[in-house]
Amino acid sequence: MLKRYATDEKGQSVPIAKIYTEQEHPISSDQIDSDAFAITRRLKDAGFEAYIVGGAVRDLLQGKSPKDFDIATSAYPKQVRKLFRNSRIIGRRFRLVHVHYGSGKIIEVSTFRTDDEEGNSNNVFGTLEDDVKRRDFSVNALYFDPQKLHIIDFVDGVKDVRAGKMKSLLPLDRTFKDDPVRMIRAIKYSTGGGFRMGWKLRRAIARHVDELERCPSSRMTEEVFKVLASGRSALLIDEFLKTGLFRHMLPRIDSLLKSGDKKLRGAFFASLEELDLLVREKNEDRKGQMLVRLLGPFLELSLEGTNSVDLFRDTFKSFKQLLEPITPPNHEVEMAVIKLFRQCGIRTPRNIARRPKPSSLEPIAKDKENKTRRSRRRKKRQSAENADVALDV
């Protein structure tokens, strides 16, 4: 095993991380997303550090296929943006880069961060060593070099993955105040990922559950859809209900499920289990399909005493109210209403659903498509001209 060294205050070299080589872990190059591999290679060719980080490394060590390949780098967001034309800088509190590919695929690239003087991980960039100190759990603090096939481990994360346990890297009286969403992730890793949580970690979640009130709606929206797309949403939401987290995620649904209506609760979890089956067997990723499975059990539709247009609008409004405080795109909510109408045998009013707003990157995609078409036409003309010349000869 190799080791990574740093110089301490006395000027001496001390080991700060273990480096697992290709022979010491099960991850192979053919398991790495080709686009993520290309991004890290281009960043390295430009003189930056770049690693696949977090959940992807954890999943690969468990023998799973990651849904996302996030990348951490020493390059600043503007430097990443210059290297990838198909990218966009996002975020206010901390700026990230999303690199866009076909079919809605996005690879997230973040710059190494450090804590500021007040202990906040804002837009303060740092080194790899700084970055690992502000990550949430040991099993998510692994950095993978896809070119060398090395895992860099500062916190014995590989050991924890192999042992099926997780530990917080920050003090438990601080970590959930810094980022309340870590409580949701802890439940996901424990219930959905098979990692054991110690009683101290569970007690800390119980004590800090109300911190979720501070979570912005955009982040909560993202986390809810991650749960629905996990293939284990029924198990996760059941655990969120038990721990009290769900009342801060989807409070109206939480209240309805706790009303004592066993039939409603049974229909709700049966619907989630159907969604989980679709995700696992057919890779279902449409938000509209997820929303109709989440919300459908709470609504009974009938055209008696109304018309389909009014019913569509009333159902859309009910969906939005049930979803508060999360804010999915209106188009996705409309798609969920359309699917619910079809399930109930109700014809959807024509031209009532709005089309999604085009992405600001669509002109880039269209430009590439037009260039490809022009290139094909040019090649056809050249082939035809060559054929004519051959006939003349």
The pLDDT, as a whole number, for residue 387 is: 44
pTM of the model: 0.82
Q: Which two tokens stand for residue 181?
A: 């969403």
Question: DSSP code of 97?
Answer: E
CA nearest to 196, candidates 204, 205, 206, 186? 186
Paired tokens of 280? 């696992």
Q: Which CATH number does 1-169 carry?
A: 3.30.460.10
pLDDT in tens, 173-195: 999 999 999 999 999 999 988 89
State what percent of residues in the chain have pLDDT above 90.
74
The pLDDT of residue 367? 52
Q: pLDDT band for position 118 (50/70/90)? A: low
pLDDT tens string 9-30 = 888 889 999 999 999 999 999 9
365-381: average pLDDT: 57
Q: How far apart are CA 205 and CA 168, in angstroms?
A: 12
Q: Give the pLDDT score at 304.
A: 79
pLDDT at position 134, please?
86
Q: Is the pLDDT of residue 300 over 90?
A: no
* pLDDT of 358 higher than 80: no
99 pLDDT higher than 80: yes
> Across the strands, what pairs with 97?
89, 109
pLDDT tens for each residue of 276-299: 999 999 999 999 999 999 999 999
Residue 242 has pLDDT above 90, yes or no: yes
Predicted confidence (pLDDT) at residue 274 exceeds the cutoff of 80? yes
Q: b/e for 356-378, b at 16 or more Cβ within 10 A?
A: eeeeeeeeeeeeeeeeeeeeeee
CA distance 177 to 159: 27
Give the mean pLDDT of 104-130.
81
Cite the active site residues: 68, 70, 136
pLDDT band, very low/low/confident/very high, at 319 (cuts 50, 70, 90): very high
Higher pLDDT, 245 or 374: 245
Q: 49: helix, coil or strand?
A: coil
